[in-house]
């Protein structure tokens, strides 16, 4: 398996633009997580899915953020409109079984810069 | 309110010596603890874990110690190698977090040759 795949690896956009981050989890994993890493706040859980269903989105900072998982092999995180404070590295991770008890496998991340 | 704290942003250790990374937590309901390692431009990778029913777990050069009364855990790396230079994240889970991970801010470990 190729591991968790994220695209794009880098995204530079202007304030107000829509940004879509993509993730392909490891086949067979039933949990998918979206994280954001910043210098100030470290690694924050934004939202997670179990069997394609969003379970907890309490970490999503604002209504400008939305996430979907239309099938077991694909998820998106969308920011609309984007703001400079959204600049961060966004990670997608997947696991077989709940993430707090089982190893989570992370993608390489998407570095987002909003100008 | 940070429930998992790694108070040392960075740590520098001589190659061959012991590296000790510390982590404190505030929620007594946490019952499972994990360490992840992260290289630049990569996602974190799982390193070692410990359940609250244990006070020590060992895997090769890596040992995690848990002191429940002090709400403190530590990761020992012996001997330290240049490839250990990375950011180390402590994470915890329990019923209060719906068994999802609460992460510390990370400690950057630098192994000096």
| B58-74 pLDDT, tens digit each | 999 999 999 999 999 99
Measure the CA–CA gap between B69 and B102, rounded to whole angstroms.
Answer: 19
What chain A residue is nearest to B89 in terms of C-alpha separation? A43
For residue B82, report the phi and psi dihedrals to the nearest 5 degrees: -55, -35
Does A96 reach chain B within 8 Å, measured CB to CB? no
pLDDT band at B1 (very low <50, low <70, confident <90, very high): low
Please write the tens of the pLDDT for every residue from B90-109: 999 998 888 889 999 999 99
**Contact status, residue B105 vs residue B36, Cβ threshold 8 Å:** no
Does A88 reach chain B within 8 Å, measured CB to CB? no
The verdict on whether omega for the bond into residue A8 sits within 30 degrees of 0, i.e. cis, is: yes
CA distance B21 to chain A (A): 17
């Amino acid at each position: 398996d190729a591991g968790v795949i994220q695209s794009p690896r880098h995204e530079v956009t202007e304030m107000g633009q829509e940004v879509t981050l993509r993730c392909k989890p490891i086949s067979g994993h039933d949990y998918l997580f979206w994280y954001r890493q910043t210098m100030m706040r470290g690694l924050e859980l934004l939202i997670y899915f179990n069997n394609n269903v969003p379970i907890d989105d309490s970490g999503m900072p604002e209504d400008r953020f939305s996430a979907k998982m239309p099938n077991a092999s694909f998820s998106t995180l969308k920011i609309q409109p984007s703001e400079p404070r959204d600049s961060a590295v966004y990670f997608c991770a997947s696991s077989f079984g709940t993430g707090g008890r089982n190893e989570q496998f992370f993608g390489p991340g998407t570095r987002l810069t909003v100008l | 309110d940070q429930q998992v704290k790694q108070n040392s942003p960075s740590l520098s250790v001589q190659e061959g010596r012991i590296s000790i990374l510390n982590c404190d937590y505030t929620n007594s309901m946490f019952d499972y603890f994990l360490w992840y390692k992260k290289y630049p431009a990569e996602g974190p990778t799982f390193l070692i874990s410990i359940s609250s029913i244990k006070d020590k777990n060992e895997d090769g050069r890596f040992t995690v110690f848990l002191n429940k009364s002090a709400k403190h855990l530590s990761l020992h790396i012996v001997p330290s190698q240049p490839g250990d230079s990375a950011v180390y994240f402590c994470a915890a889970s329990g019923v209060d977090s719906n068994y999802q991970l609460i992460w510390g801010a990370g400690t950057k470990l630098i192994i000096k040759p």
